[in-house]
A and B are shown apart, each in its own frame.
Chain A
Amino acid sequence: MALTGLFLYIFLIEHLIANLLLLNNDNGEAYTIYAEVLGSAYNIPLRIIEFGLFFFLLYHATNGTRLWITNRNAKGIHYFVNRASENSTFFSRFMIQSGSVIFIFLVIHLRSFFVHYRLETPDDTMYQGVVKAFENPLYSWFYIIAMILLAFHLVHAFQSAFQTLGLRHNKYTPFIKSFGVIFSILICAGFALIPVYFLYINNTGGH
């Protein structure tokens, strides 16, 4: 979980940087170039990474679910009163829930962007698709909520990955913990900025 998780982290960073191109007030020029480079069928290394990405994602999700099931069984009966908030963070206890919502989000997200622009024959550019999608408040808000849950997920995930890898020391662990929180929130805030931007700030871009 830790290794796949950290890999997905790297992907998120890359994805965010690309997404921020959307905010460049150039009517999507930069973003379109990026999308084309990324989508080029001849970019073999990228295709390999992409394949790995899907594999890791699926592994992360299925293994997470498997763990959740075995761990639930290991607990058996649950307590009548359980003040878990006194001994652990909210985020750490709800990884499967936040993860599941993110997974559903990803399915929809991939359907509207990846499947449409890469596997089908689109009649618009990806930039136009983004703008169009975010004009729909329902879609935008779903996106924002998913990002909030992603933040929940990442806040625990970041430091947990280091712990799982045995990288814990009183010298650097406090740094990892606080860095993880700030970093995770920044990433998700960055993503959420896109729908907010198109919904409330620049809602004329595509027309």
Chain B
Amino acid sequence: MALLNLHLKVWRQKNNEDEGRFVDYNIQDISTEMSILEMLDVLNEKLIKEGQEPVAFEHDCREGICGCCGIFINGRAHGPLKRITTCQLYMRHFKDGETIVLEPWRAKGFPVLKDLMVDRSAFDRIIAAGGFVAVNTGGAPDANAVPIPKHNLEKALDAAECIGCGACVAACKNASAMLFVSAKVSHLVRLPQGKPEREKRVFAMLNQMEKEGFGSCTNTEACSAECPKGISMDVIAQLRREYFRASVRQEKE
């Protein structure tokens, strides 16, 4: 275990109306065994004691599954490592004396609420538009009634691993939510249970995505590269196929 002295450049913004600015902080004796969020805890404790306002940042489970945390760290969504969330980034990956720049996710669809916190409720509205299988509780057939090939199941699960953190939108130069939308479309369409609504779903979710102000996909693949769950570009290709299929098949309502 070693101790680091660091220079932080943190985006501070009082609320959605405030313009925001970077504020510099120096912080000493940070253990390499800390997570970056624990480093921020230490900074906040120090700020509170000095009578200054602590840095607001989103976090909850701190084990990489809830999808709350998300900071743009030194120019990368969730920091310099691949396939982890912000809370899983440990300080041993930084050097003594290094400057760490912390910015909130940037996208029109994710307005900044305060400091490093953004509003990702657009994702909820996209799911509400069609990211489900329309079954009511009760009356479901036996779980083994419809066999599902293991291969399909595994692929569906690969897509279903999305934690909705928004790193895909943050990393995308177009602020496109395509990976998020595609992951859900892909998860459901690969299962027999999701097939009856496949045409309706793809249109509904894409429409909502556009309404929320997200950009469109230009295949830079940054989303997939920064996705903490490693969701593949395959899902976007699958969404495209679903879209074409639905365009041809869907009857006018």
Contacts and interface: CB of A to CB of B under 8 A. Distances in A.
A88 B236 contact: no
A40 to B, nearest CB: 39
A166 interface: yes
Interface in B195-253: 213-222, 225-226, 233-234, 236-241, 243-244
A71 B108 contact: no
A75 interface: yes
Contacts of A44: none
Given A67-B218, A75-B107, A75-B108, A93 B233 contact: no
Contacts of B240: 163-166
A160 B219 contact: yes
Contact of B76 (A76, A87, A156): A87
Contacts of A164: 217, 219, 240
B68 interface: no
B106 A76 contact: yes
Contacts of A86: 75-76, 80, 225
Given A80-B101, A87-B225, A168-B234, A75 B215 contact: yes
A73 interface: yes
Contact of B174 (A74, A159, A168): A74
Nearest to A74: B215
Interface string A75-93: 1111111111011110011
Contact of B218 (A71, A80, A168): A71
Contacts of B234: 168, 170
Interface string A163-204: 111111010000000000000000000000000000000000
A81 B80 CA distance: 12
Given A165-B240, A167-B237, A87 B222 contact: yes
Contacts of B123: none
B72 interface: yes
Contacts of B103: 79-81
B132 interface: no
A83 B75 contact: yes
Contacts of A77: 106
A77 B236 CA distance: 25
Interface in A87-116: 87-89, 92-93, 95
Nearest to B106: A77
Interface string A126-162: 0000000000000000000000000000001001100
A163 B224 CA distance: 14
Nearest to B177: A74
Nearest to A156: B219
B175 interface: yes
B83 to A, nearest CB: 12
Given A84-B173, A163-B240, 9 more contacts: A74-B214, A75-B172, A77-B106, A80-B101, A84-B171, A84-B222, A88-B173, A163-B233, A168-B234
15 contacts: A72-B174, A73-B108, A73-B215, A76-B108, A77-B106, A80-B101, A80-B103, A81-B103, A82-B75, A89-B220, A89-B221, A93-B220, A166-B238, A166-B240, A168-B233
Closest 7 CB pairs of A and B: A74-B215, A83-B75, A168-B237, A71-B174, A166-B240, A166-B241, A87-B225
